[in-house]
Structures are given as C-alpha cells and as structure tokens.
C-alpha cells in the first residue's frame, strides 16, 4: 500500500485491501524500520486521507497488531521478549485493549510540528515550518473526524509532552510502571 503511494502509482482501494490482507506481522515490522515510510512527509500527509479511511485495511492492521503483540518476533539473542510497545492511535482501544499499560502521548500542534520540522531537517527532507504545521493540524482534524479511529479509553494514561524532552517523557511514562 505504502509502496503504491511512494511510487506515485496512485491509490487504488482494492489493491490496498488485497495488499493488507497479504501482510504478516514480520513484514509490517520490517516496513516500519524503513526511513522512507516513517519519515516521509508525503506518506504522513497521504495515509490519513487514503489508507486510514478503508475499514478493511484498518481491520487487517489491527489484526496484525494483535498477532504481533501476542506472538512477538524473537529478539536477536533468540529469546522471547517480555512484552511489546505498540505505536498507533487505536492500539489501546482496538489492537491491545487489555494491555497492562496504555499511554496516549500528545503535545500541542505547534510543538509537534517543530519536532517534525527538526526531524525532517536532520534527515535532509526539509519542509517549510508552515507546511509542517498545516500538515499536523490537518492530520489531527482528519483523524479526529474519522469514525474508524476510536478515542482513548478511560484507563489510558494521557501524557502531554509539550513541555518535556525525550528523557522527561520516558521518566514520566516509567513512573506509571509497576
């Protein structure tokens, strides 16, 4: 699916559904390691207005997330991990509703845009700050109005990272773990 977007071949709902149905948890894990997926401004802009609106694709990705969380791939040392960390708006509601801990990290749009702007700059994918901010705001609006994306559950711990650095966010999250 993402390859279709990145290759500029257009967006075809049927192809996206067939591709999603063929994906495995290990393929998703490998895909997410690729910088052109997680760090591409065009992918960030297009996903919520294309793939994220297809119920069949979302359902398959939730299914893959469940498979991954229940049977994570072995660590490099051959051992089974003690747990997994999942990243996504519906991980605590649909993918792993019974997770021991659910966190919803957020920050003011301007802060998130600044962080993304700096990240793009470090990776040589410079974008005007105003465009990055507009994209963040548009994504929030699109996702907020997408009926397929549920709101965080009442037992989700919400962490506003607007005024925190990475170490402070980690410390705050870790303070909740028993």
Q: What domains does the chain contain, in order, with CATH numbers? A: 2-176 (3.40.50.300)
Confidence of residue 163 (pLDDT cuts 50, 70, 90): very high
Percent of the chain with pLDDT over 90: 32
State both tokens at 152: 């965080």
Please state, as a whole number, how many other Cβ atoms lie within 10 Å of the Cβ of residue 136. 22
Note the pLDDT tens digit of each residue in 65-83: 898 888 888 888 999 888 8
Confidence of residue 166 (pLDDT cuts 50, 70, 90): very high
Collapsing DSSP to helix, strand or coil, 104 comes out as: strand
Contact criterion met (CB below 8 Å) for 136 and 83 = no
| pTM for this entry | 0.74
Give mean pLDDT, residues 107-135: 92
State both tokens at 39: 């760090």
Confidence of residue 35 (pLDDT cuts 50, 70, 90): low
């Amino acid at each position: 699916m993402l390859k279709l977007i990145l290759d500029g071949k257009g967006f075809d709902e049927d192809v996206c559904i067939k591709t999603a149905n063929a994906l495995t948890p290990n393929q998703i894990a490998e895909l997410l390691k690729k910088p052109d997926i997680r760090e591409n401004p065009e992918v960030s802009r297009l996903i919520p207005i294309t793939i994220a609106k297809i119920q069949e694709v979302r359902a398959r990705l939730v299914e893959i997330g469940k498979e991954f969380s229940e049977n994570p791939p072995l660590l490099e040392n051959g051992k089974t991990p003690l747990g997994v960390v999942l990243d996504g708006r519906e991980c605590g509601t649909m993918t792993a509703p019974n997770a021991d801990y659910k966190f919803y990290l957020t920050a003011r749009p301007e802060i998130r845009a600044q962080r993304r702007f700096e990240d793009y700059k470090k990776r040589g994918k410079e974008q005007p700050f105003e465009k990055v901010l507009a994209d963040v705001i548009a994504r929030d609006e699109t996702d907020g109005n997408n009926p397929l994306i549920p709101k965080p559950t009442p037992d989700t711990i919400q962490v506003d990272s607007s005024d925190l650095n990475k170490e402070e966010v980690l410390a705050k999250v870790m303070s909740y773990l028993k």
